[in-house]
Structure 1
Amino acid sequence: MEATELWDKTLNAAIKLPFVRISRNDFLTKELQPYCTPEQIELALGDSPIKVLSKKQIDKIANGCISYHTTIVCATSALSGLPGGWFMAATVPADIAQFYGHVLALIQKLLYLYGWADFRDEKRKLNDEMANTLTLFVGVMMGSRGAIQGINALTKALAGQAVKRIPQIGLTKFGFYNVAKQIGKWIGIKLTKDSFAKGVGKAIPLVGAPVSAALTYWTFKPMATKLKKYLDSQL
């Protein structure tokens, strides 16, 4: 598969997983209850959690989300035992889909916490427009300067509108569709290059599982930390 096609297939496979569809209202209501009154929660849902939470509280909730998804990813041995040439296959392996499913779920949770709108459309699905926005944030998590520049340019272009509405507005209208596709291609190339290292665990009997868990941890945790650091910088 070509790099762009590889990421598109990976993204589509991950989005289909049930746990990837995060309800903004349900998530925020649950996370804010220990800190906020019902009136404050209503304000957060209608506007932004930043209006009612301190920086310390935002950090605590965000770090809790990161720890939860990191633990689940490692426990399920995401990226475990993958053959080095998986990207040549017609379908995306379940472990890869699971890994990026947790990436997408965490992106949504952190963005909701930092004031973004629900990424799901009126049918409670993640459509193509919103998938493109998520692609840019996956790029941020993987250290792409182009993705950071794309998000920064997009928020600047929409300066007159609420940033939290970006997922519902769509990228095509503002000329950022091609940027998302370029980042998708970059991610696909990176997936191809990194896949061999991720498959090493299977080649080592008995040691394979812990090696795979370690590789997963040192892949997922830094990605999550990069996204949180970026969102903190936007406060």
Structure 2
Amino acid sequence: MPQELEQPESKFTQVLDAAAKLPGVRINRAAYLRAAFKRHCTEEQIERAIAATPAAAGIPLAILTEVANTSIAFETSKVTGISTVAGIPGGIAMIGTVPADMAQYIGHMLRIAQKLAYVYGWPDLFADDGDDLDEATEGILILFVGVMVGVQFAQGGVSKVSAMIASQVVKKLPEQALTKGAIYPVVKKVAGFLGVSMTKKLFASGIAKAIPVIGALVSGGFTLATFLPMSKRLQRHLASLELTKPGHRGDEAPFIDTEVITLDAVEDPAGVGTR
């Protein structure tokens, strides 16, 4: 592959890998699900959700939506505050703060992507405790970020991976497909697209940070205006996939009309974290 095509892809994967190493970015699936569903479910349901999926535990889609909305509201508030603080340094200091701000921003994208994935039935993305991302995890995170920024072919990749996981007896990422097989070309294409987009965003962010106080306001406002709709975009897509279908739920759970409730809740930004 020509060097000019490799460069954007490499840029994004480097930032992604750096973001994944930041403190607090990796979400413990079991601990998160236990805390997130504590108010809504029995201990038996929670343990079943951890062992299998929330859908298999018979947790209604309306509750999944409420938990997802609460996590989105929390992460949006947190990343907006961090971005505003990172926007304060001006002049020459922006050379050091722009990459750090970007890594923090991507880090929060990874946090909400993990939380939403776990709510909607995905397996542990960081089962390996090593510092470096394994290729399968890196691949699915690239696709998740692609969905968040509106890359249409990333949605197709996530849908295919979801279908593969839904058909597996052992719940894990389809490593072969993500690293060498059918999904791998999509991952590479999304990474290249994100590398180009990231360069443009860094340039725009750097201009804002050159003006100290105004830069802080622009940075925080820009984050709020982008992070929330991106999170909602991923939520809508994950909620529509095979892992949340009735066939992957407990037989005893009532599902009548929950699909309608979920779609209404997801589409209503005013309902974020307020239900």
TM-score w.r.t. structure 1 length? 0.87
1:45 corresponds to which letter in structure 2? I
Alignment of 1:19-30 (within 5 A): 19-30=24-35
- 1:191-234 per-position Cα deviation (integer Å, ceiling 9, x unaligned): 12232322332244532211111011112111101001111222
Higher mean displacement: 22-31 or 194-203: 194-203
Q: CA deviation at 1:159?
A: 5.6
Deviations, residues 129-168 of structure 1 (Å, cap 9, x unaligned): 2111110111010101110111223334556326952266
What is the match of residue 235 of structure 2?
228
Amino acid at match of 2:193: W
Tell me the residue number matched to 2:156: 149
Unaligned runs of 5+ in 2: 245-275
Of 84, 109, 116 in structure 2, the residue corresponding to residue 110 of structure 1 is: 116
Q: Distance in 2 between matches of 1:109 and 1:102?
A: 11
Which residue in the other structure is 1:96 paired with?
A: 102
List alignment gaps of at least 5 residues for structure 1: 84-88
Q: Secondary structure at the match of 2:126?
A: coil
Contact 1:141 1:226 in 2 (8 A): yes
Greater Cα shift, 93-102 or 187-196 = 187-196
Larger Rg: 2
Change (3 A) 1:12 1:90: farther
Relative to 1, partners in 2 of residues 1:39 and 1:105: Cα closer, same or farther, differing over 3 Å? Answer: same
Aligned residue runs from structure 1 range 129-144, under 5 A = 129-144=136-151
Q: Which residues of 2 match residues 28-177 of structure 1 at below 5 A?
A: 28-50=33-55, 51-77=57-83, 80=87, 93-123=99-129, 126-157=133-164, 160-161=167-168, 164-166=171-173, 171-172=178-179, 174-177=181-184
What TM-score results when the alignment is normalised by the length of structure 2? 0.75
User: Which among 8, 21, 27 is matched to residue 16 of structure 1?
Assistant: 21
1:97 is paired with a residue of what secondary structure? Answer: helix
Distance 2:165 2:61 in 1: 25
Deviation at 1:108, TM superposition (A): 0.6
How many angstroms apart in 1 are the aligned matches of 2:160 and 2:193? 18
